[in-house]
Amino acid sequence: MAEEKLTLPADAFEPLPKDEAQDNENIAGPSLSFAQNVWIRFKQRKAAVISAIIVIIMIVVSFGSTPFINKSTLVKSHPQYANLPAKVPGMSAVNGLNGKIKQNGKWVDAYAENNVPKDKYFIAGTDYLGRSLGQRIIYGTKISLIVALVAAFFDLTIGVAYGIVSGWKGGGVDNVMQRIIEIISSVPNLIIVVLMLVILKPGITSIILAIAISSWTTMARQVRAETLSLKNEEYVLAARSLGESSRKIAWKHLVPNLSSIIIIQTMYTIPTAIFFEAFLSFIGIGISAPETSLGVLLNEGQKNFQFLPYQMWYPAIVLCILMIAFNLLGDGLRDAFDPRGQR
C-alpha cells in the first residue's frame, strides 16, 4: 500500500510579522506588586473581608461613643428601670425585643408594669441596678479592645525587637535570650496577675502589666526563627559586605520580609488577649464592678441567667463575635501573605 505524501502550502513556513511575534512573547496580565497581590488574595476570602468589616464597625462604635458614654453614666443606678428587657423601636411584634418578658408562661409588658415613659427604651435592656446594658456592653467592648491593642503594641515592640536581636546575634547571645523566654513562658499568666494583685488593686493596670511581661514571647520566637533563615540570604550578605550597620539591615531588609509573620501573629494575639481579660474579670481578679468589661457583664449576668438570660446572652454574643472575627481575619491574612498555602 503506497504511503500518502503530506503536502503543505508554500507559505506554511513564512516568518510572522514583527508585531505579531512580539505579541506572542508578551506575558499576559498586568504586573502587580506584593501588596497588590496580597490585597487580591485577601479579597477572595469572603469570611476574612466580612470579619474585617465587623472589627472596624466595633472599633468605630466603641471608641466613637466615648463622648456619650463614660464612667459616670455607667455607674449611676436607676432602680425604677431595673431588669427591663430589650425594647427596640419598630419591633413591637417580636417578643423579647418589644419590652415584654415571659413570666409564669405569659408575656408581660415590663415597661408598662414599671411605669416607664413611652419614649424611654433600652435596646439591650437593663441590669439589676437599672443601668443600660447596651451602653455597658459598648464600654466593655472598648475595654477589651484597649487590652487587645496593648497586647499588640508589646508584640510589635518587645517581641519583634527581641526576636530580631536573638536571631541576628546567634551563638551564645541567642542561647541566653531563648532561655530567658523559656523561663518567662513557664510561668502561667494567671500567676503573674495574682502577683500583680499583691502590689496593685484589681483593674486594667494589673492586666496590662501581666500582658507586658509574658504576651510577647510567641512573637519573639517566630521572628527569631525567621531571622535565622533570612540573615543568610544573598541580599543580607551583600548588605553586610557593603558595610551596612546591623540596625539598618534589620530595618531595611529584615522587617519588610518579616512583615507577614508579624501581622499574622498580631491578629492571633488580639483574640487571646481579649479572652484573657474576659476570663480574669469573670472570675473576679481582673476589672471589677462598678467598672465594666465584657467579663464583668458575664459575671453579673450569670447570677440571673435562669430568670433573665438576656443579661448574659448579649455580652456573650458580642465577645464571641469579636473573637471569631479576629480569628477569621488572621486566617485570611495568613492565606493572603502566604500564597503557597493555597489549594
Average pLDDT rounded to a whole number, residues 108-124: 81
The answer to whether residue 36 is domain-embedded is no
Residue 315 CA, chain-centre distance (Å), reads 17
Least confident range from 7-21, 106-120, 258-272, 329-343: namely 7-21
The answer to whether residue 224 is domain-embedded is yes
Dist CA 298 CA 82 (whole Å) = 17
Q: What is the pLDDT of residues 117-132, one digit of tens each?
A: 887 888 888 888 888 8
Is 203 in the same domain as 224? yes
- pLDDT of residue 29 exceeding 60: no
The answer to whether residue 27 is domain-embedded is no
Is 206 in the same domain as 330? yes
Is 177 in the same domain as 311? yes
The answer to whether residue 282 is domain-embedded is yes
Residue pair 311/132 in contact by the 8 Å Cβ criterion: no
The answer to whether residue 116 is domain-embedded is yes
Q: How confident is the model at residue 25 (pLDDT cuts 50, 70, 90)?
A: low
Residue pair 324/51 in contact by the 8 Å Cβ criterion: yes
Q: What is the pLDDT of residues 254-273, one digit of tens each?
A: 888 888 888 888 888 888 88
For residue 3, what pLDDT is reported?
Answer: 55
Dist CA 266 CA 15 (whole Å) = 57
Q: What is the pLDDT of residues 182-202, one digit of tens each?
A: 988 888 877 887 787 777 777
The answer to whether residue 340 is domain-embedded is no
Average pLDDT rounded to a whole number, residues 137-161: 88
Average pLDDT rounded to a whole number, residues 326-338: 84
Least confident range from 60-64, 71-75, 103-107: namely 71-75
Its domain, for residue 216, covers 42-72+131-335
Dist CA 256 CA 325 (whole Å) = 26
Is 54 in the same domain as 176? yes
Regarding predicted confidence, which is higher, 150 or 118? 150
Is 155 in the same domain as 220? yes
Is 265 in the same domain as 311? yes
